Amino acid sequence: MSELVLQSLYAGLLAGGYYALIALGLTLIFGTMKVINLAHGEMVLLAAYIAYTAESVYGINPVLAIPLAVAAVVLTSVMVYGLVSRIRQDRELNSLILTFGIGIVLTNFVLMVWSADIRSTNVPWFNEPVVIGEAFYSTSAQVLFFLAGLGLTAALWWWLGRSWYGRALRAVASNRNAAMLMGVNPRTTEVISFVIAGLLAGIAGVALYTVAVIHPDLGHNLTIKAFVITVLAGLGSIPGVLVGAMLIGVAEYMTITLASSALQELTGMVMFLLVLFIRPSGLFGSRGRVG
């Protein structure tokens, strides 16, 4: 039993790596612009289906299809910003309704183009076993995108804290008018944040395709998971996203091992509610906030 629990912990940590990839884009937009993009999961799913098309139709390795997936999702993300930026009143609520509608449109687009069948990668390398110490087992794809999750989380944290545009974005999030007085163009910084969110969503979609099966209804669940991780982390906390994602991953895999796979999604929602009741500002709160 102890070996099974340790394996569940290991698998949960690896899952947390690509969960963080899925949540980073939503966290960036939500934490810096106070916009909840409810179409985020559908954009991740769009990238996953582009990777599937590249593999099944053209025989391209899904990893090599990342530039194409990223380009498509970034374009979609900028279009979403173009619509959100036209909202002048009650931006938070109206953007919520708008992006929910965009998510439905994207879901039906995926359904029309790729049908309702489930898809998964047929590249053998992604499913090859990786054994560590004859005790921990995973696939190559899980390890690859766990490392990608760590790397992109660190890169985004550095960008927000050290780059000029990252600091400009934080300034706009803190006080839009004061940032304008300092020579910051809010519209430019917001477009850049949506571009980066699209880039992250594109990579996350390819990761999702290589480690799991995909289907058109999955986008809504991805948005919920990303939002739960964002709340667990604390608004705008980039390192907190990684910690929250790993907590969700470990909790889900421990639930599967010790209880039932039917309770897997319920575990994340219970953690979500507990954090809201005990620490509404998130695990890291305002002190851990970067964005």
State yes or no: pLDDT of 80 exceeds 90: yes
Q: How far is CA 139 from the centre of its chain?
A: 21
State yes or no: pLDDT of 285 exceeds 70: no
State yes or no: pLDDT of 216 exceeds 50: yes
Of the pLDDT bands very low, low, confident and very high (cuts 50, 70, 90), residue 81 is very high
State yes or no: pLDDT of 286 exceeds 70: no
State yes or no: pLDDT of 291 exceeds 60: no
Within 13 Å and on the Cβ side, how many CA atoms surround 11?
A: 19
The angle, 0 to 180 degrees and rounded to 10, between the axes of the packed helices 2-33 and 218-233 is 80
Write the CB contacts of 115 (distance below 8 Å, at least 6 apart in sequence): none
State yes or no: pLDDT of 290 exceeds 80: no
Residue 259: predicted pLDDT = 85
pLDDT digits (tens, 9 = 90+) for 191-202: 999 999 999 999
User: What percent of the chain clears pLDDT 90, i.e. is strictly above it?
Assistant: 51
State yes or no: pLDDT of 95 exceeds 70: yes
* Secondary structure element (H or E) that encloses residue 146, with its range: helix 140-162
Residue 186: predicted pLDDT = 84
Q: What's the mean pLDDT in 82-87?
A: 89
pLDDT digits (tens, 9 = 90+) for 113-150: 999 999 999 999 998 988 887 778 899 999 999 999 99
Q: What is the average pLDDT value for the chain, to the nearest integer?
A: 88
Burial of 133 (0-12, 13-18, 19+ CB in 10 A): exposed
State yes or no: pLDDT of 289 exceeds 50: no
Give the count of beta carbons closer than 10 Å to the beta carbon of residue 67. 9
Q: How far apart are CA 179 and CA 170, in angstroms?
A: 9
Of the pLDDT bands very low, low, confident and very high (cuts 50, 70, 90), residue 288 is very low
Q: Is the dihedral of CA 97, 118, 262, 139 positive or negative?
A: negative
Residue 1: predicted pLDDT = 59
Residues 37/99, Cβ–Cβ less than 8 Å: yes
Q: For the domain bounded by 2-288, which CATH number is listed?
A: 1.10.3470
State yes or no: pLDDT of 284 exceeds 80: no
Structural tokens at position 140? 């190559």
Structural tokens at position 83? 């619509």
Q: What 3-state class would DSSP assign to 137?
A: strand
pLDDT digits (tens, 9 = 90+) for 257-274: 888 888 888 888 888 888
Q: What's the mean pLDDT in 64-77?
A: 95
Task: Kindly write down the DSSP assignment for every residue of 189-235, as one continuous string.
Answer: HHHHHHHHHHHHHHHHHHHHHHHS-B-TTHHHHHHHHHHHHHHHH-T
Indicate the domain borders of the chain: 2-288
Structural tokens at position 53? 């098309």
State yes or no: pLDDT of 20 exceeds 70: yes
Residues 30/99, Cβ–Cβ less than 8 Å: no
Of the pLDDT bands very low, low, confident and very high (cuts 50, 70, 90), residue 47 is very high
State yes or no: pLDDT of 109 exceeds 60: yes
Q: CA-CA distances (angstroms) from residue 189 to 73, 167, 242, 259?
A: 18, 10, 24, 46
